[in-house]
Amino acid sequence: MNRIYLDDAGSAPVLPEVAEAVRGIPAGNPSSIHAEGRAARAALDLARDRAAEAIGATRLEVTFVSSGTEAVNLAIFGTRGRLVTWAAEHQSVIAAARRSQSGGREVVIGGVDSAAMVDAEAITPGTAVVSIGLANNEVGTIQPVAEIIARAHDLGAIVHVDACAGPRWIPLPDEADLVSISGHKLGAGRGGLLFVREGLRIDPLIHGGPQEWGRRAGFEDVAAASAVAAALAACRDQRDSRRLTAERQSHRLREVLVDLGGVLTGAGARLPNFATCTFDDRRGEDMLLALDLAGIAASSGSACASGSLDPSHVLLAMGLSMKGALGSLRLTTGYATSDAEISRAVEILRSVLSRVPVRG
């Protein structure tokens, strides 16, 4: 059976450009002075320059890390003062904010509206750091990042943009002070990156050697850095051409979800590859398992943990009922998704979801 992958927002398939970039990466330690070490250093420098060019930064502003989650944590724990974020942000942001709060830091977690859109009014005088997602990772809502940055800077605060969701489809903000990027969400398969605006000092999470400009000690993963750099370059070059296809495909998916009784989530400006909805009468877990058996990989706003189905904090923050939060479905297309696959997916969705048991 030829499976249809509709969970690009969960993890994007590795891009051909990435596979080519990591072929033949030297195994030496970039800090060593022997020939193998120098070759590894050259590959790392090339990756840093390539990543910097792709995001419009200087090489001094690029810090390679292990993942988007590490990049988020470095941005939040590496800064000080009152932190403002919002209730529908990614779990890595919320968890880091809560941990900071338990350590005595003043933290404000603002609310969101029914589309997961944030309210800039949460940023008040005395705010030191703002953490905002470029787009919501569960429903795809594109946030008013430029407005948030302008308000924060007017009040003397710095801004961290969690761009783990979004940079494949929309440009990164020009004026952010910190930007976290996840490799596997780009099609890199591994790694991450934190942009740190030149002149801004942050405290490291990992202590040891002077690697990554003193922001992250430890042996550099040259292959991961090369993968992230290649994926960023490919996304920059292909963003516009891929967007129209993604919009057309996700529109077809949203149409069938509504026909089947789903209520769309993330209304308004959303990432072009997102089709998300909730069902009051069906469980997300049941739908995912049925679709998986039928050959479709999808995801839900709910997560299975320790044998129980927990509602999405994002959907609850948006004001959905417990039933709605437990009945969510997220379909996201990718660069390799074909129109033929979407046509097959529409047929499967109509057949499978109509047979998912209705709950009381």
Please tell me which residue in 164, 235, 277, 304 is annotated as part of the active site: 304
Helix (H) or strand (E) holding 83: strand 83-86
Q: What's the chain's length in residues?
A: 360
- Cβ proximity of 21 and 226 under 8 Å: yes
| Three-state DSSP state, 177 | coil
> How far is C-alpha 249 from the geometric centre of its chain's CA atoms?
20
Residue 304 a catalytic site member? yes
Q: Within 284-332, where are the H helices?
A: 284-293, 313-317, 322-326
CA–CA dist 265, 230 (Å, integer): 32
For CA atoms 24, 27, 29, 35, the dihedral sign is: negative
Determine the angle formed by the axes of helices 91-102 and 68-77, rounding to 10 degrees: 30
N-term to C-term CA, the chain: 34
| Three-state DSSP state, 51 | helix
CA–CA dist 15, 21 (Å, integer): 10
- Radius of gyration (C-alpha) of the chain in whole angstroms: 21
Instruction: State the catalytic residues.
Output: 304
